[in-house]
Amino acid sequence: MNLSTISAQVAQAVEEGLFKEQKTLPSWLFYDNQGDRIFQEIMGMPEYYLTGCEYEILQMNAAAILKRFQQQGAFQLIELGAGDGLKTEILLKHFTQQQADFTYHPIDISAAVLTQLQDRLSTSLPNLPFFPQQGDYDKALEKLNLSSNKRKVILFLGSNIGNFSATEAGAFLLRIKKSMHANDLLFVGIDLKKDPRMIQRAYDDSQGITKSFNINLLARLNRELGANFMLDQFSHYPTYNPETGEAKSYLVSLRQQDVYFEALQKTVRFKRWEHIHTEVSIKYDQQMIEQLAKVSGLTIEHQYYDCKHYFSDLVLMK
Ligand code: AVJ
C-alpha cells in the first residue's frame, strides 16, 4: 500500500466518522509512526498489565505450545497485527532452538513496525525463514485462503481482538474459520475481566502516555489531512464498564469549536462536551469466551493463563 492510498483511507474514515450525530474514529488510525512508538511505550508501562501477562504465558508454555503446533509436522506461523513482535520472539526463539520446521509470516498495517521487526529478527534469529507483509486483516485472510500442504497456525496476540465489539469479534473469527483448512489452528490472546480499577488504570496511566496515544489521532489528522485540531482543546476520557466488559476511550471537546480539513475542504463542528469515540477494548469472562467460540463455529482445544488469571491465550480449531 502506498502513501496516497493510506491517506485516502484516513480521509474516508473521517468522512464516515466525523460527519454524523455520534462521532467516531476507527482505532486502526492510532498506528502511524508516532502512534506505533507511543504504543510501544504503553506496553512498557507498569499499569499496562496485558503485555507482561501474555509474555508470562508464552514464556511458561513455549514447549507445550510448540508441541501442539507441530503435531502435524511442519507449519506456517501467520501473525495478524504482529507489531514489533517482541512477545512472539519468545516463541520464535524456543521454536528455532528446538529446530522446529516452520516459517514465520507476520502481517501488520504499519510498514515501519515491520521494518523494526525485520531488523531485530535478522540479528537475533538469522536462520529464521521470515516473510513479513504489510496489510490489514483482509490481506491476512487472503493469505490464509491459499492452500498449502502445511498446517497454518494463526497468531492473534495481545488482545487485539478486544478492539472488535462482541458481534464484530464473532463475525471476524467466523471469517477466519472459513479461511482455515481442517487441521489449521488459531491462537488468540484475550484480556479477562478483573478489578475494574486495574483495567481503568491501564487505559488512564499516571504519566499520560495513553492520553498522548489518543490525542495523536487528532495530530495525525492535522498532519495527513491538513486539519487544524487544537490538541489542548480535547481531553482523553477512558471508561470501563464491568457489566459489558467494555473499556472505551473518548476524546471530549472542551468547547464549541470548528475544525477545518484542508484535504476535504470541509469543516467539522464540535459542540462543547461533544465526544469522539476512538476505541473499545473488550474484557472477556469465561462465558463470553465460550459464546465467542460458539458464534464463530470454533472449538476451544486449550486455554493458557498467566498465574494471576488476568489474561488467556486460546487454542481454537475448526
Ligand atoms: C493493541 C488493541 C490490544 O486495546 O489494550 C492500549 C491498544 N489502547 N492502550 C488495547 C491500547 C490504549 C491495545 N490493543
> How many CB atoms are closer than 10 A to CB 266?
16
Q: Ligand 1 centre from 3 Cα, in Å?
A: 24
Q: Which residue's C-alpha comes closest to atom 14 of ligand 1?
A: 160
Q: Render pLDDT for 60-118 as a digit per residue (tens, 0 to 9).
A: 999 999 999 999 899 999 999 998 888 999 999 999 999 999 999 999 988 888 999 99
Whole-number pLDDT of residue 136: 84
- The predicted model gives 181-209 an average pLDDT of 97
Predicted local distance difference test score (pLDDT) of residue 1: 45
Residue 73 CA to ligand 1 center (angstroms) comes to 34
Residue 100 grid coordinates: 522446529
- Which residue among 49, 86, 159 is best mutated to probe the pocket of ligand 1, counting the most ligand atoms within 8 A of its Cβ? 159
Q: Which pTM was predicted?
A: 0.94
Q: What is the distance in A from the centroid of ligand 1 to the CA of 281?
A: 7
- Rounded Cα gap, residues 191 and 53, in angstroms: 9
Separation between Cα atoms, residue 218 and residue 227, nearest integer Å: 8
**Which residue, by CA, sits nearest to atom 9 of ligand 1?**
203
Give pLDDT, residue 148: 81
Q: Whose CA is nearest to atom 5 of ligand 1?
A: 281
Looking at the CA of residue 39, tell me the nearest atom of ligand 1.
6
Distance from the alpha carbon of residue 208 to the mean position of ligand 1, in angstroms:
15
Tell me the one-letter amino acid at 225: L
Place of cell 508516532: 34
Decide: 185 and 154 in contact? Cβ < 8 Å. Answer: yes
Q: Judge contact between 157 and 87, C-beta under 8 A.
A: yes
Cell numbers linked to 284: 472477556
Ligand 1 site residues, Cβ closer than 6 angstroms: 42, 50, 158-160, 162-163, 203, 210, 213, 279, 281
Going from the Cα of 20 to the center of ligand 1, the distance in angstroms, rounded, reads 25
Q: What is the pLDDT of residues 138-159, one digit of tens each?
A: 877 887 777 788 999 999 999 9
What is the distance between the alpha carbons of residues 277 and 238, in angstroms, rounded to a whole number? 10
